[in-house]
Chain A
Amino acid sequence: MTHVTQAPLGKAPATLAPTQPVSLRINGQDRTLHIAPWTTLLDALREYLDLTGTKKGCDHGQCGACTVLVDGRRVNSCLSLAVMQEGSEIQTIEGLGSEAQLSPLQQAFIDHDAFQCGYCTPGQICSAQGLINEGKATTEAEVRELMSGNLCRCGAYSNILSAVMEVVGNSKS
């Protein structure tokens, strides 16, 4: 028999820093939250702002489900603290389009059946929008590579590629 201890701090838990006001600009709106400073941008969106379109798949920057656009660039929102994004322009899936007015990528994802369960989808679309914004996506091989940070366990990759290529093609022409 071996003795094992878990969480061997050897001291009482640290006194926690108080919550603090954090101001974020999300989808064109200014929002102020009172949150612990170590709250991730992902949790701020999902748990404090009810913007649950941004998904949590791993919380470790390994799956891409939490991808949002910060100043137009792709960011894993689970790897960023909310407090670090004060002054940035944050765009989430809710800001890209609505059911009444779908963005070209959102429409292309529907037309190409580029998702099944839908859980990775907002991250895929934000990622695709980001790489289009960045002007990086031109060929199929590039899109496959650049979209490889967004896992899709349903395996919709072929259709994601077709959807993104359609919008890339349209935006070039």
Chain B
Amino acid sequence: MTLQTDYIGKPTNRVDGPAKVTGGAKYAAEYNVPNMLYGYVVSSPIAKGKITKIDAAPVLALAGVQQVFSHENVPHYAFFDRSYQDEIAPGGSPFRPLYDAEIKFSLQPVALVVADTFELARYAASVLYIEYEEVAHETKLSQHIDDAYEPGTGKTGYQPPKSRGNFGKGWKEGVAHVEAQFSHHAQHHNPMENFATTVEWLGDKYLNIYDKTQGAFNSQLLVTKIFGLSKEQARVVSKYTGGGFGSGLRPQYQLLLAVMASLELERSVRVSLTREQMFSFGHRPETMQHVALAAAADGSLTGINHFAVAETSQFEDFTENVVGWSGMLYDCKNVALGYRLAKLDVYTPLDMRAPGAASGSIALEIAMDEMAYAAGLDPLEFRIRNYSDRDQAQDLPYSSKALRKCYHEGAAKFGWEKRTAEPGSMRDGNLLVGWGMGGGVWDATTKPATVRASLDADGHLTVSSGTNEIGTGTYTIMTQIAAESMGLPIEAVTFVLGDTELPESPLQGGSWTAASVGNSVVEACAALGEKLLKQAQKMDSLAFKDVKIEDVQFANGQMRLRSDSTKAMVLRDVVQASGEGKIEAQNAKEKSKLAALKPPKYSMHAHNAVFVEVKVDPDLMTVHVTRVVNAVAAGRILNPKTARSQVLGSVVWGLGMALMEESVMDHRFGRYMNHSLAEYHVPVNADIHDIDVIFVNEEDDKVNPLGIKGIGEVGMLGVAGAVANAIYHATGKRVRDMPITVDKLL
């Protein structure tokens, strides 16, 4: 699909910008409905055992405390596991808050204190008396490698890794060999907005539920299943989400507690989690990896072996694709892959930005750097020699793959040719300079989505779909696509999202929203165009008689003949003549559903190449990332301004993963000890220096009609590996355990 456009592909300011910079954008805990109660969650101090006593009486005696909910008084709304399984629940038995006395993880919610004010609920929660019997917990992944097992089919999107060829043979064929272990701790998403739900009680079990989520429909699904409510009773609204990064893909427990309290007390209730409690649920799992590579004398890979063990909870099998990417990013006949899970007494892990790939690419990209040195090749040249022109994992051609351009354009911008290979050979005054690189691959997915397009008699187009805005620019890019499709100025278009009363859209995740909702916006606008043409034909029997939709174009607020642009009608007039006040149409979800069932003819992926400069103080071993160039091939870029921001953020995430982020478990307590933003380190402004983002040209007419691949995750890949490789280049120290803190370099 070729587009000559006014809006798509243009750097456009966010349409929700004014609301966000003035404080007008409302997040879940900001709907101050009348007569509302506040719930405060009490969290378990132990990681495993059971509650033996709760003495709520002294707390209930406080004036203004309405109720203390715990397993002792919360009714069992639902019995079967399937009622507790949200759209992307992995296999197993989901956690049920306040269901029984059993404690399965540290900071498990054990009670909800509900009071007239937030201050009172917080105080009452702090003095609630609870006794526990604690039993020994297991939180050390390294002690459970031998118990690790191959997961079954896993959750949606999990692809059990497929080996091919004969790695043992490939290993023997190689003349250069690399073999190493890699690891990283758990990491927590920590979006800036804490999880919160405001439930507005409308009477007779009708609820407006303002939830922090990446999928209003997923929250609604879970609430209706557990509490036996109809969809009409459980309307979920999520207009703005203060950061997701995967944390909102599964509904969190505050949603269920707020709904429960509202139903039990027949009042409006808000439950907000604290920052500490943000460490009480899903996270990127701690992962240990083994990579072995073999290469022939000419630098071609003869064998790749990548094996990973990751933690999961005792009650669910959380799976992600950690090692599969190693079977497709580089050309190699002999690939052995393995992935196992080990059960620990922690909460079930959860998808976190570029889940699986972010972990796996660190190991693969560091190992590739090690192999480049072992084979005596420049790391970029080594990757180019092993370029994969066909997806060997799926045995399919790529719909498009401009990774080679990423390598060339990224290297040119960075000045890679000036690199001297020897570690420690580059200096800036006293500082050691290191240049490293990496890259990655991420799925380009399109899911079924429904969109409604409605043109009113003033000529204003409202396009709506129940998708989410988590900072990715959904409001803006959908407005651009709709304006483009209907030939309207951007000011004449409003995109509405985040409400289960709108047409259904998939979860906001997996980098698939732009493609899924974007192409559906085009379809809905096309359906609207056909209706407008029919109405026009009723009005003007001459100009548009027997005209087919293909013969019509929409531009400047008009519908006109492609063959003769003077034959035109103003859209506003067409709607006014209909006498209906508006004309609207919806795309057919069934069509995209059927398309999703067909076996793929192409491997559809986005790629990137990252070049990083670090400067390391040789005495203190402090690391500063002074320059990053990230070249991305992700199909059509809808809005270079917001897309660039996505990649800038991805680089910041990659730097965090490389240098700072870790949820440190105190195994004596089975608890993450750094459960605050002071101690869980993320990059701050002073950590970030020059970041260059390049979008290489990549046209793809096969991935979906608009040629979109998604941009939210691919930019993070290779960043952490490139930082580690740059540190090696600067210092000669190869650190394979993330994050690379100063103590590991001294």
Chain B: minimal CB distance from A106 (Å) = 4
Q: Is A94 an interface residue (CB 8 A)?
A: yes
Q: A117-B242, A119-B193 are in contact. Are A39 and B119 (CB under 8 A)?
A: yes
Q: Is B175 an interface residue (CB 8 A)?
A: no
Q: Across the interface, do A53 and B24 meet the contact criterion of CB distance under 8 Å?
A: yes
Q: Across the interface, do A52 and B26 meet the contact criterion of CB distance under 8 Å?
A: yes
Instruction: Name the residue on A nearest B62 (C-beta).
Output: A13
Q: Across the interface, do A7 and B128 meet the contact criterion of CB distance under 8 Å?
A: yes
Q: Is B495 an interface residue (CB 8 A)?
A: no
Which among B30, B128, B472 is the interface contact of A52 at CB below 8 angstroms?
Answer: B30
Interface residues of B in 69-125 (CB under 8 A from A): 117-120, 123-124
Chain B: minimal CB distance from A28 (Å) = 16
Q: Which residues of B contact A16 (CB under 8 A)?
A: 62-63, 120, 123
Q: Across the interface, do A6 and B130 meet the contact criterion of CB distance under 8 Å?
A: yes
Chain B: minimal CB distance from A64 (Å) = 9
Q: Which residues of B contact A97 (CB under 8 A)?
A: 21-22
Instruction: Name the residue on B nearest A100 (C-beta).
Output: B18
Chain B: minimal CB distance from A13 (Å) = 5
Which among B32, B272, B653, B685 is the interface contact of A150 at CB below 8 angstroms?
Answer: B685
Q: Across the interface, do B471 and A117 meet the contact criterion of CB distance under 8 Å?
A: yes
Q: Is A84 an interface residue (CB 8 A)?
A: no
Q: Contact flags (1/0) for B654-680 with A, using CB distance below 8 Å?
A: 000000000000000000000011100
Q: A4-B45, A117-B240, A160-B685 are in contact. Are A58 and B677 (CB under 8 A)?
A: yes
Which among B131, B132, B242, B245 is the interface contact of A118 at CB below 8 angstroms?
Answer: B242
Which among A7, A47, A96, A121 is the interface contact of B130 at CB below 8 angstroms?
Answer: A7
Q: Across the interface, do A154 and B23 meet the contact criterion of CB distance under 8 Å?
A: no
Interface residues of B in 299-353 (CB under 8 A from A): none
Q: Is A31 an interface residue (CB 8 A)?
A: no
Q: Is A60 an interface residue (CB 8 A)?
A: yes
Q: A47-B118, A52-B32 are in contact. Are A13 and B58 (CB under 8 A)?
A: yes
Docked CA distance A152–B242 (Å): 10
Q: Across the interface, do A6 and B45 meet the contact criterion of CB distance under 8 Å?
A: yes
Instruction: Name the residue on B nearest A37 (C-beta).
Output: B119
Q: Contact flags (1/0) for A1-29 with B, using CB distance below 8 Å?
A: 11111111100110010000000000000
- Interface range on chain B: under 10, 10 to 19, 20 to 34, or 35 or more? 35 or more
Q: Across the interface, do A156 and B21 meet the contact criterion of CB distance under 8 Å?
A: no
Which among A35, A36, A54 is the interface contact of B23 at CB below 8 angstroms?
Answer: A54
Which among B23, B44, B126, B133 is the interface contact of A93 at CB below 8 angstroms?
Answer: B23
Q: Is B611 an interface residue (CB 8 A)?
A: no
Q: Is A153 an interface residue (CB 8 A)?
A: yes
Docked CA distance A92–B22 (Å): 9
Which among A3, A13, A38 is the interface contact of B119 at CB below 8 angstroms?
Answer: A38
Q: Is A83 an interface residue (CB 8 A)?
A: no
Q: Is A56 an interface residue (CB 8 A)?
A: yes
Which among B20, B23, B124, B686 is the interface contact of A145 at CB below 8 angstroms?
Answer: B686
Q: Is B482 an interface residue (CB 8 A)?
A: no
Q: Which residues of A contact B583 (CB under 8 A)?
A: none
Instruction: Name the residue on B nearest A118 (C-beta).
Output: B20
Q: A52-B30, A116-B472, A117-B241 are in contact. Are A94 and B23 (CB under 8 A)?
A: yes
Chain B: minimal CB distance from A99 (Å) = 4
Docked CA distance A144–B687 (Å): 8
Q: Is B252 an interface residue (CB 8 A)?
A: no
Q: A55-B192, A116-B473, A118-B471 are in contact. Are A110 and B124 (CB under 8 A)?
A: no
Docked CA distance A96–B21 (Å): 10
Q: Across the interface, do A152 and B192 meet the contact criterion of CB distance under 8 Å?
A: yes
Known A16-B63, A147-B685, A148-B685; 14 more pairs at CB < 8 Å: A13-B59, A52-B29, A102-B18, A106-B22, A109-B17, A113-B642, A115-B471, A117-B191, A118-B21, A121-B20, A143-B685, A151-B682, A153-B192, A154-B192
Interface of A toward B, CB cutoff 8 Å: 1-9, 12-13, 16, 35-36, 38-39, 43, 46-47, 50-60, 62-63, 65, 92-94, 96-99, 102, 106, 109-111, 113, 115-122, 125, 143-145, 147-161
Supply 6 A–B pairs (Cβ within 8 Å), ascending by A. A36-B117, A53-B24, A62-B676, A102-B22, A120-B192, A155-B652
